[in-house]
Each structure stands twice: as structure tokens, then as C-alpha cells.
Structure 1
Amino acid sequence: MKQFIGIVGSNSRQSTNRELLQFMQQRFESEATIEIIDLNQIPLFDKPSDFQVPAAVTEIAAKITAADGVIISTPEYDHSVPAVLTSLLAWLSYKIYTLLDKPVMIIGASYGGLGSSRAQSHLRQILDAPEIKARVMPSSEFLLGNSLAAFDEHGQLKSADQVQKLDGLLADFLVFVGITEQLNHAHEMAQKEAAHFSWENL
């Protein structure tokens, strides 16, 4: 059984993105184990004078390294992802390069009708940065709009169509993870390039 890390891309106490990951955790428990990670303890990224990554980040990094893949569920703030999520990604690409070649599935829930579509597009760009280089599942999008009304009192998605789509995407992600496990021949070189990359030297 595959082991996934589910990252809640918000530090809201009542995040519908957390609800979405919790729904997936329960629904797909026979196919994958999903450990949900909250970001409330993640400090905003600021290059440390001692060059040390915070303990809260290294703990998450270790879990991601051990996992078969990552599912990021993001809301949309001002057409982009929340600062707490960009801070985590910055930390994860500061001297540790945790997401390099790691399979990632992007989903999102939003109070508005567009369901975090622009934030997801921006997140794909971030994850393709030279210092990150995650393997994001292509041609996939799960947009849960009007998310405050999307779940019933038991935390179940009300829309059968949305559930069916999520079923298909999770099945595709399991295949995608299997494929990416075979694409590791250039991993060592990619890691070296990420470690030596500098925007100042371009």
C-alpha cells in the first residue's frame, strides 16, 4: 500500500482543504495511507544566518522523503497560494531539496465558485522551479468550489460527480507514482544541479 503525505495549504483552523484531505484519507484507506500535515508551526521563510532549517520543517521533510508521494490541497488567496504554503516550499528547497522528483498531486478547495484554479496553476509553476523540481501529475485538476457548502455533517462530499472525479484522479495518481519510481536515472545529477543553482549566476 502506498504512503502519501497530504499537505493542508492553509493555516486556517476551519480549512475546507483539510476537510477535503480528511475525506480522501477515509475514502481511500484501502488503497493508500494519507498522513495529513498542518502548517501552523511553519515560520515564514527568511534565510537563516546560521543556515539551519527549522525543526518543524525538517520533521515534515523527513516524512515527505519517506513517503511515496505528496498531495497538496490549496485554497486561493489573491489569485495565488497562501504565504504559509510558499514558505514551506521555500524551506523544502533550502539546502534539503525534499521535493526533487517526488510525485505530487494538486487539489484545492475554495469558498468561491472557481475552486482555486488560479492558485493551482501558480502552484504548478512553483513546483517546477529549479530548486524544487517536483514531478507534478499532468493534465489533472480537482477544483472544489463553494467549499463551505460542499460537505455534509459527517464530512462527506455531497456531490457524487465530485466524488467520482476524485476516485479517478486518485487511481491515476497511483499509476503516476508507479511510473515516476522508474524515472530515477538522472536523480543524482538533478540533485547536484539544484544544490548549485543560483539566480545570481544566471
Structure 2
Amino acid sequence: MKVLALVGSLRADSFNSCVMETMKERYAAWSISVADIGSLPFYNQDVELIPPPIVKAFKKQVSDTEAIIIVTPEYNWSIPGVLKNALDWLSRVELVMVGKPVLIIGASTGMIGTLRAQTHLRQILSGPGLNARVLPPAGNEVLVNFADSKCKNGRLADEQTLLFLDQVINRFNDWVKTNTP
């Protein structure tokens, strides 16, 4: 499956990048690429009809993929601005996220992981300009808590977390196959 990842952290030693790099290696049967959302200009409605080339290329990346994985930290009980900016671009004019299968994952140093950010992200993704098909949450919430102790050398190293991630990835894979028109 061709998958595009949106990683909501720009930090060099990001725990969310740690999770994504682990996923790229662990699920090598999928073709996972990571979008460079940090290079996108701020969304501006004045230029949405003729967007900058980098925005056009980003939307094409999203359009050409079978599924999206969003890996987000939690900033002030929500998603980071860089991720919101990317989603704002995707929600306008050419609506490339409508119906796109999405898996939400997040890592943070706190006890409840990125629960509040993921809840907010689900609301955003259900908006009319995005209207993505997000994997239902029942048992599929990948909330990597205490990530500072679970990421080692840039990779997720906690066996229990990896086994749970395997289960969710398998369910997502099956869900995409059975729910894609």
C-alpha cells in the first residue's frame, strides 16, 4: 500500500519522527513516504486558487497516495500549527483528503500521550473540506506515552508498544482494503 505520512513535529529529535522512522522500517511492505509539511507557506486564502508550486506538489502527493498516517505531538492540548497549516491547505479548492483513509498516531512524554490532540484532530478531519475516513478509535488509539523512555537511537524500542502498533497497523490495513470503494 502506498502511504503518505504527515509528521506534526519539526524538532530534530522528535519522538513522533522516531515512531514514523520505526514504522517505515517495520512495515517495509508498505511504501511509506513523509511529506515535508514544514516547508509549506502559511495558508492564505488570497492565493488558494493559484497556490504556490510547493502546495500543488503537496496536494498531488496526498492525491496519489492510498492512505495517510498522521503522527502528531500534543501542543497546548491540540495539534501543532505546522500540521494545522498543512490540513488548512488540504481543505481548500482541490479537496484531496475527502474519503482518504487516515490513521492517527501520536507520541509525547506525558502519561496520556496525545489523547487531546488526537481528539481535536479527529474533529478537524471530519470538517467539510477534509472529510477524511479516519480509522474508528475503538481500540485503535496509538497514544505513545512516556516517549522519552521508549525512543532509543531514533527508533521506538518498547516491545509492548511495538506489539500494539502491529495490531493497529493490521486492523488499519484490513479496514482500508474492505472500506475503499
Q: TM-score, normalised by structure 1?
A: 0.84
Partners in 1 of 2:99 and 2:132 — Cα distance? 5
Which residue, out of 76, 80, 83, partners 1:82? Answer: 80
Q: CA deviation at 1:50?
A: 6.7
- Residue by residue over 1:29-71, the C-alpha shift from the partner in whole angstroms, topping out at 9 and shown as x without a partner, is 03x1111123220122221257322222221211111111000
User: What's the Cα RMSD here?
Assistant: 1.4
Distance 2:6 2:81 in 1: 14
AA aligned opposite 1:159:
D
- Look up the SS of the partner of 2:63 in the other structure: helix
Larger Rg, first or second structure (1 or 2): 1
- Residue aligning to 2:166: 167
Q: Given that residues 69 and 104 in structure 2 are in contact (C-alpha distance below 8 angstroms), is that contact kept between their aligned partners in structure 1?
A: yes
Pair 134,50 (structure 1): closer, same or farther in 2 beyond 3 Å: closer
Summarize the alignment of residues 91-110 of structure 1 with structure 2, pairs less than 5 Å apart: 91-110=89-108
Report the secondary structure of 1:105's partner residue: strand
For residues 9 and 37 of structure 2, what CA distance do their matches in structure 1 show? 7
Superposed CA deviations along residues 114-156 of structure 1, whole A, max 9, x for unmatched, are 2111000000000000111000000221011122221222x33
2:55 to 41, 54, 57: 57
Identity %: 32
How many Å separate the matches in 2 of 1:146 and 1:39? 25
Q: Distance in 1 between matches of 2:180 and 2:81?
A: 31
- 171-180 vs 77-86, greater mean Cα deviation: 171-180
Tell me, yes or no, if the aligned pair for 1:5 and 1:71 is still in contact at 8 Å: yes
Instruction: Find the aligned partners of 1:10 and 1:131 in 2 and give their Cα distance.
Output: 23
Contact 1:10 1:39 (8 Å CA) reproduced: no
- Gap runs ≥5 in structure 2: none
1:4 aligned partner: 3
1:7-26 aligned at under 5 Å gives the runs 7-26=6-25
Q: Which has the higher contact order (CA 8 A, sep 6+)?
A: 2
Corresponding position of 1:193: none
Given the two structures, how large is their TM-score scaled by the length of structure 2?
A: 0.93
Note closer, same or farther for the CA distance 1:61–1:49 as it changes in structure 2 (3 Å cut): closer
**Matched-pair contact (CA < 8 Å) for 1:70–1:105:** yes
Using the alignment, how far apart are the partners of 2:130 and 2:48 within structure 1?
Answer: 22
Mapped to 1, the partners of 2:59 and 2:86 lie a distance apart of: 10
Partner SS state of residue 78, structure 1: coil
CA pair 176-14 structure 1, distance change in 2 beyond 3 A: same
Residue 157 to residue 116, structure 1, CA distance change in 2 (3 Å): same
